[in-house]
Amino acid sequence: MAAAVSGRYRLPHEERAALGLLAPLALVLMAVTLFPILYSLWISFYGLNLRRPNRMPFVGFDNYLSVLTNPQFLESVGRTAIFSVISVIAVSILALLAALLLNQEFPGRRILSACLLIPWAIPSVVNGLMWKWIYDANYGALNGALLQLGFIDAAMVWLGDANKTLGLIANAFVWKEVPLASVLLLVNLKAIPADLYAAARVDGAPAWRRFLHVTLPALRPGFMLVAVYEAMMAVRHFDLFFLLTEGGPGGASDVVAWRIYVETFRNLSFGTGAAMSYILAVATLLMSYGLIRALAQRV
């Protein structure tokens, strides 16, 4: 029956109707996403610097060459990779634990799942301010708690220590990302057919084996979704770097997003800034190709 009707749905009339309904969306996205990204491509081939806005020579691939041979940029790529890998792994593990817990039935579960969304909902600026205060070397809660518990003997420098900065910023990022990832994994958990567990139980598999051989394999799609999405978010993340360290100390948290900001709005070199942006955009697009396909097939 569906086939018979779908013939009628393919009339040009239907396409006109669809076009009309999609027009406002198309207009918005063309004006505010497509045009800017093409404009950005164009800028990336010119030597536009706002310090001398009237001269805008065509430089071809020079911006890309200078960016890709700039050790500062390459190092920021490395830091972005480290930050992203730490974040994705930590988010996945913590979200798995939270989802396993919330998948159980117990009194108070509803309150817990309502609180789960709070970190997700709060502004990233406040997230930054909150952790900046917690990490504060003089009066921070982290030093305070560790001293009181006897884990350290003297207050420590946290964000100001180049070896710790990236990990500490990742911790703040992870705190805000765990809720969404937990929700995604929880849906996946709930969709695992109960007879898979029943079968494993009949086979006499203990709980940890059921987890290892039923739960984890069934969570593959959920983990894929979480990993790609969180990697996308981590690679582009800017807010915490701006608020917590401004790329410091000594460039220890100078990631790609921060580099683009400095290049564009502090050095006012829009050409190379656009080239960096483009490299980042293409990299994320490639990274998320599979994710988009998987999502689109669901509708």
Partner 1 sequence: MTIVVNTPSRPLLPIVVRGCGLAVASLLLLFYLLAPVAWLASSSLQTGREIVSVPPHWIPDHPTLRNFKAIFSAIPGLGASEAPAPDGTNSGGFIPSTAGNLLPAMLNSLIVASIVVLLNLIVGVPAAYAIAKIRFRGRNLALYTVLATRVIPDIALVVPFFLVVRKLGLLDSLTSLIVTYLAITVPFSVFVLASTFEQLPDDLDRAARVDGCSRSQVLLRIFLPLARPALVAVGLFAFLASWNEFLLALMFTQTAASQTLPIIVAAFTSDFTVSFSFLNAAGVLAVLPPAILAVVFERYIVSGLTAGAVKG
Among 29, 152, 157, 198, binds partner 1 (CB under 8 A): 29
Stretch near partner 1 under the rule CB under 8 A, chosen from 28-36, 61-69, 73-81, 196-204: 28-36
Residue 70 or 288 with smaller CB distance to partner 1: 288
Residue 49, interface with partner 1 (CB under 8 A)? no
Residue 243, interface with partner 1 (CB under 8 A)? yes
Stretch near partner 1 under the rule CB under 8 A, chosen from 14-22, 59-67, 78-86, 209-217: 14-22
Among 192, 239, 249, 251, binds partner 1 (CB under 8 A): 239
Among 104, 154, 194, 208, binds partner 1 (CB under 8 A): 104
Site string for partner 1, 63-102 (x = CB under 8 A): -------------------------------x--xx--x-
Among 5, 154, 194, 202, binds partner 1 (CB under 8 A): 5
Contact 59, 47 (CB under 8 A): yes
Interacting residues with partner 1 between 127 and 156 (CB under 8 A): 128-134, 136, 138-141, 144, 147-148, 155
